[in-house]
Amino acid sequence: MKVTISVGGTWYAFQMAAQLDRRGHLDRLIATHHPQRGEAIAPSRVRANLVPELFVQLPARLRLPWQGEYYKAQLFDWWASRQVDPETDILVAFTAFGLHTMRAVKPHGVVTVAESGGTHIAHLRALVEEEHRRWGLPAPRIDPRLYVKQQWEYREADYVGVLSSFSRRSFVRAGIPEDRIICIPPGVDVEFFHPQPRQDGVFRILAGGLRIRKGIAYLLEAVAGLPRVNIELATTGRLPPDALPILRRYDVPIRHYGPLPRRRLAELFARSSVLVLPSIEDGFGLVILEALASGVPVICSVNTGGPDVIRDGVEGFIVPIRDAPALRERLLFLYGRDAERRRMGEAARAKALEYSEDAYGDRLVQAYGRLLADRRGRAPEATVPEFYASFWDTTEMWDACGHWSEADVRRHFDGLLRPDDIVLDVGCGDARAYQPWILGAVRKLYGVDISESAVAAARARGVEAVAHDLGAPLPFEEGMFDKVVCFEVLEHLFDPKFAVEQMARVLKPGGLLIVSVPNAGYLPDRLGALLFGRVAAPPSDFTNPWKSPHIRFFNLGTLIGLLRACGFEATVVRSKSDSSIFDLLGLFGRPGRFVSRHLAERLPRWAKLAFLGDVWPSVFAPGLLVVARRRSPRPARGSEAAAEGGTVP
């Protein structure tokens, strides 16, 4: 089992990578940082790029108001999509950084996990905005482009990874099926965080976080009602701006330690009497495990990972959100009861040992092993054949997919077809586009399509057409065809790799595959995504043919990679349709698209700079056309099944 982790930061991804690497399951760690010393990850497995991080760090250092999180996420995602090995088994992509990376590997059958360290983005935004309104403060802005992108990641991934039951419930409420959610609680370094002798007799309350989202206001209100004798409220880290108005409202003495090195932080944990994390929203709260490992009882809210770990009254207490009296009651219970705190601290340490980093690694391997056991079990394959079976049954569809011009046919097929060729057209439709020209140029033309009505129309035009679902082995003998044509089909398949393997099987050695797909790397689309957050996305269902249900996305690199993996070598790469420099006007909305369309229809190719699509197809081709030669005989998935199920002679 090979697992790739892609993360535009650190979070717990490096802990995850170290545990997988230790067990021999880490393929690559793709990140914006190199691991620090002490993080046991083989350097050869790390791909790091700091440049996307500069879009956030530089404005912050220069105190500029510009927010660069979205640009960081997009640039990292595009870069990571080129670093991931399509032969990996599982891709774990942290949300906001993984949409394009997942799309790059899904055609290869890689299992994809959208890893969310928090709750569903809509749930997070609703809770945070509500809490800030309660205190009359402006809520932190979530970039709407990231908001949309993360929801597409949840949807397109095979699975969503979460850390707690609280997070899982937020995704279920948002409509993600529960069987697509995997919950793997994190681990803690129980050697680094451990109990230490307490030198003072101070009742030290360690705040789990200072942000409003972390419930600091309710902790301050609770502490304000405690005795002022021998009590310290300790805080760490940088003071977030949204906490300052809250801190000024309460007359509570606070000892703020500021940002601490990790070792001093562990010492502070061990010297604390209790950790309090009354979060309004928290995907887990890793400080909970760090406190437990330090032998410190924990008081946390129900909206954290605490209820998954802590037994109320044993290792700590679970309280409702926004309940300062409940917090004060639990703090008063622990205040002055040294024996009770010691008992709970011992139970806390014992519980933390169940969540060690080694135990976390074991949970990861077990969970990911189960995902591989059902590699293809998460995509609703049955929906696609049902949709396409009736795809051609409307007059509008027949009219929209009309004849090709002679110029189009010559552009794509000149010099490729010979009179003695036997050709297969995969996804032939009703055979009235380019097929009439092929029929007159070759010895015999076969076709396959899922639609019975399209197959009947194709047969009437002289094509030896067969109704067939491309999720099954092609019903033809091995090495039967000289050429295979596959235009605008792969993007509609859940398993395009299987389909291409089948095309390789039925081609003669040295035979040609002529394939086209829309280009996800087309410059106007890339700029639209970068500047405005526009996402080329599949529809919400497959009932409306005008929604263009593309469920797989290819740029030139991913298409060439898929062909190579299936035994092909590309010999010709060009634009499938005329590119137009005026397509950039589409960035300016509907008026721009209107002008662009009319200019494209009226201007000659040279005026549109259409040659750029052939010179630099990866950037300027709206659609890619690749001619690839089958390298050598190789077995394909489903060849035995095809032989057993019969073939078309």
**Alpha helices for 414-481 (secondary structure H):** 435-439, 452-460
* Nearest CA among 551, 544, 381 for reference residue 471: 381
Using CA atoms, how far residue 184 sits from 110, 575, 585, in Å, is 20, 45, 46
Q: Domains of the chain (ranges plus CATH)? A: 3-187+362-373 (3.40.50.2000), 203-355 (3.40.50.2000), 383-520+549-578+621-634 (3.40.50.150)
Q: What is the pLDDT of residue 359?
A: 97
HSE of 572 in the Cβ direction (CA atoms, 13 Å)?
Answer: 16
CA distance linking residue 50 with residue 42, whole number of Å: 19
User: Can you point out the beta strands (E) in 85-230?
Assistant: 90-94, 111-115, 159-162, 181-183, 203-207
Residue with tokens 């887990």: 284
Q: What is the pLDDT of residue 369?
A: 94
Q: What is the pLDDT of residue 88?
A: 96
> Would you state the structure tokens that stand for residue 342, as one six-digit string?
């010691």
**Residue 330 · residue 225 · CB < 8 Å:** no
> Would you state the structure tokens that stand for residue 582, as one six-digit string?
């005026």
CA distance linking residue 228 with residue 205, whole number of Å: 12
The string of DSSP codes covering 361-391 is HHHHHHHHHHHHHTTTTTS-TTHHHHHHHTT
CB atoms within 10 A of CB 560: 19
* Nearest CA among 537, 622, 624 for reference residue 573: 624
Q: How many residues does the chain have?
A: 649
Q: What is the pLDDT of residue 399?
A: 52
Interhelix angle 357-373/13-22, rounded to 10 degrees, is 80
CA distance linking residue 537 with residue 340, whole number of Å: 56
CA distance linking residue 254 with residue 366, whole number of Å: 44
Low-confidence ranges of the chain (pLDDT < 70): 37-38, 65, 376-406, 537-549, 633-649
Helix, strand, or coil (residue 623): strand
* Nearest CA among 5, 58, 59, 61 for reference residue 35: 5
Report, in angstroms and rounded to the nearest whole number, the Rg of the chain calculated over CA atoms: 29
Chain centroid to CA 391: how far?
A: 30
**Residue 645 · residue 473 · CB < 8 Å:** yes
